[in-house]
Chains A and B, each alone.
Chain A
């Protein structure tokens, strides 16, 4: 009991309708997964905002470190050849 006297935090992801990805929409506290789902329904889909809900314990989310983000994302910074505009195609070839 000692470690869990605080009701755990959950992250809520909602799929607005089929065909779209689940998207993070907020968080809530709940004792277990079932209560988290029900609370997420009551809090985040009161006006038909969702077709499907995921809840994930916040403690299970692993996040990149924002203070190290410059170095972490650095490998992509100098690779302009990954973008279509790096390549010259004559205008008369048309849209490509």
Chain B
């Protein structure tokens, strides 16, 4: 919310050491920062980048699953998938709105996405080859997203935190419908169970990559934690995800495609946890830099939607203009009164 005019008045907060210290003190006292509050330029830019990427991920993330909507095997699965994809569109909208409170417009963010300047989660550049992928995505991709997003509900920036609360409430259904789909396949024929295993094999490593680069290579982690935008490091969240997911795979009777996966009772300060193999970081960076299996197709699909929707946006605005002038026409007003 909040007019952009007000936002702009604060864009140029003088960043004296006192100002920065005062801001950090507010963060340290767990105060929330709200849209028109003075904030360091770097805090604003970090949030615009992170929330924008997050919003793009929700929107681009609709594409892999939309691929299977018309081919869902039952009406029950189809309605669930449709509802999930619709939710993701809503998530994108909540997040674009949160980013807009920082003084960037949704049009600008969309243009940056289409121009390849803004990133989105690299997982959505992988293809959905079988129906089982609808299960694996809900279970693993939404599962990893939840792991990332729950701590963001306590993010220091109010609008982002509030958007995340709404999103997290909805994500749980996404993960559960995916896991339930996996259960059906794993209780089905051998071919169906093989399909589920194949899907896990393809989505496991990209899901681990969703948590981003390792802490030692992460550009933004330290400052983001100081500002309480992030509460946990990438590696901490990745570890939590692995620990939570292995048991779920065992329950399905599926095997996680990692020969180095092993229980380690000393992990997590003695609570125990899983050791796991090294992520293929070359693949990760390749996909991030635009050379994944479907990067081009995803942006092409978004560009097509944006361009083909242009006349609808224009027509809606033209109609609104026309209604407005009709309402201020004195003849028209007289008619209404009588």
Contact = CB atoms under 8 A, between A and B. Distances in A.
Question: Chain B interface mostly helix, strand, loop or mixed?
Answer: helix
A32 to B, nearest CB: 4
Interface in B284-304: none
Interface string B1-16: 1110010001000000
Interface stretch (A61-69, A72-80, A84-92): A61-69
Contacts of A35: 316
Question: Chain A interface mostly helix, strand, loop or mixed?
Answer: mixed
A7 B319 CA distance: 12
Interface in B7-43: 10, 34, 36-38
Q: Which of under 10, 10 to 19, 20 to 34, or 35 or more describes the interface residues of A?
A: 20 to 34
B87 interface: yes
Interface string A7-34: 1010100000000000011111111100
Contact of B86 (A7, A46, A61): A46
A1 B38 CA distance: 34
Interface residues of B, number: 32
A59 B97 contact: no
Interface stretch (B99-107, B229-237, B266-274): B99-107
A32 B323 contact: yes
Contacts of B323: 32
B2 A28 contact: no
Interface string B82-114: 010011001001100100100001110000000
Interface of B: 1-3, 6, 10, 34, 36-38, 83, 86-87, 90, 93-94, 97, 100, 105-107, 162-163, 166, 170, 313, 316-321, 323
Given A58-B3, A59-B3, A66-B34, 13 more contacts: A1-B317, A1-B318, A1-B321, A7-B316, A11-B1, A27-B97, A32-B323, A35-B316, A42-B90, A47-B170, A63-B6, A63-B36, A65-B36
